[in-house]
Amino acid sequence: MKVSVVVCTYTMDRYDVFTEAVESVLAQTYDPIEVILVIDGNTEVYERVVDDFGDLENVVVHNNEENRGISYSRTRGAELASGEIVAFIDDDGLAEPDWIVKHVETYEETNAIAVGGYVAPNWVGEKPDFFPEEFYWLVGCTEKGFAEHGEEIRNGYGSNVSYKRDLFLDVGGYDVNTGRKGDRHIQAHEAPVGIRIREEYGQGVVYVEDAVVHHKLFEYRGDFRWLVFRSFWQGFSKRIMGILLPESKGDESEYLQNLVFQFIPGRIKQIIRRPSPSKIKQLISIFVFTISVATGYLYGYITVDSEKYEN
């Protein structure tokens, strides 16, 4: 079973971490593997990537004719791939050596058509003491209570997910209305793929907790104001998702129920039993982030022209 791994990047500012991500893919213990490197319309980055990796037999390098965004780039990578399975990792991710092995084992041992693994936070600096594990999804990492090993989920995280390539392309790949492009901050571009695959094939994404990618988190991701900003745009993105795929609200509702009826009461009990400044800060952060998400959703509800996305 040949696997193609797609890694996308767009700027020289991220070249060092991008290189580390690519090296971690090239160091996989699984064979046969193909690596697709997609540069999003940056000639300088493309030429550097060709110099560094272009001579490798199992590497394909492509440069978009212009900056098209992460969703377009990932789908383009899948189109260029020749593997039966196409896997994705972010340009700031570091894969464990057996990452692809764990994905392939799941395909071989089950009837899976898509697999998502565990994305571990890899803080460059010190983890901020106010940041609760329940909101790790804000930085693209697997949050507390996400799923059980082997459980079927709606979608995995973009830095650790794979699909049967033909099925992925059959449902249209990533929706170009979602994902980052320039200053646009529409998130959650994994969800539409997962939803469309389930609609078309009756199966979701299988979660495999021992398929591990470490997501590098730079200091700005621990800035409280940045996280509030991120929460707002996540809420806005959920409004876009509601337009693109009205049936997408189920997982968010379940998460909100767990947050309100399980996680928050549990944290309050912990504070009562053994209070500490960090526990209090994290509880406050949960409320602030939740309000910010709700505000972003309301902003999207008021300002977004639904016909623009429905068409």
Average pLDDT in the chain: 89
| pLDDT, position 301 | 84
Output the furthest CA–CA distance in the chain (Å, rounded). 60
pTM here is 0.89
83 versus 257: the higher-pLDDT residue is 83
| pLDDT, position 179 | 54
The answer to whether position 246 is within a domain reads no
Domain holding 84, by residue range, is: 3-222
Q: Is the pLDDT of residue 83 over 70?
A: yes
The answer to whether position 304 is within a domain reads no
The answer to whether position 31 is within a domain reads yes
Average pLDDT over residues 16-22: 97
User: What pLDDT, in 10s, does the model give residues 42-72?
Assistant: 999 999 999 999 999 999 999 999 999 899 9
Cα–Cα dist 262/282, whole Å: 15
CA dihedral sign of residues 41, 232, 197, 21 = positive
CATH number for the domain harbouring residue 162? 3.90.550.10
Q: Is the pLDDT of residue 265 over 50?
A: yes
| pLDDT, position 184 | 47
The answer to whether position 69 is within a domain reads yes
| pLDDT, position 307 | 57
| pLDDT, position 252 | 63
Average pLDDT over residues 228-241: 85
Q: Is the pLDDT of residue 274 over 60?
A: yes
The full 3-state SS of the chain, as one line of letters, equals CCEEEEEEECCHHHHHHHHHHHHHHHCCCCCCEEEEEEECCCHHHHHHHHHHHCCCCCEEEEECCCCCCHHHHHHHHHHHCCCCEEEECCCCEEECCCHHHHHHHHHHHCCCCEEEEEEEEEECCCCCCCCCHHHHHHHCCCCCCCCCCCCEECCCCCCCEEEEHHHHHHCCCCCCCCEEECCEEECCCHHHHHHHHHHHHCCCEEEEEEEEEEEEECHHHHCHHHHHHHHHHHHHHHHHHHHHCHHHHHHHHHHHHHHHHHHHHHHHHHHHHCCCHHHHHHHHHHHHHHHHHHHHHHHHHHHCCHHHHHC
The answer to whether position 47 is within a domain reads yes
Q: Is the pLDDT of residue 183 over 70?
A: no
The answer to whether position 268 is within a domain reads no
Q: How many folded domains does the chain comprise?
A: 1
| pLDDT, position 303 | 83
pLDDT confidence bin for 247, thresholds 50/70/90: low
| pLDDT, position 311 | 46
257-289 burial string, b = 16+ CB within 10 Å, else e? eebeeebbeebeeeeeeeeeeebebbbebbebb
The answer to whether position 91 is within a domain reads yes
Nearest CA to 16 among 55, 57, 45, 51?
A: 45
Q: Is the pLDDT of residue 182 over 50?
A: no
Q: On the CB side of 165, how many CA atoms lie within 13 Å of its CA?
A: 21
Comparing 24-38, 95-109, 176-190, 202-216, the range with the smallest average pLDDT is: 176-190
Cα–Cα dist 44/140, whole Å: 27
The answer to whether position 102 is within a domain reads yes
Nearest CA to 128 among 220, 53, 66?
A: 220
From the CB of residue 164, how many other CB atoms can be counted at a distance below 10 Å? 20
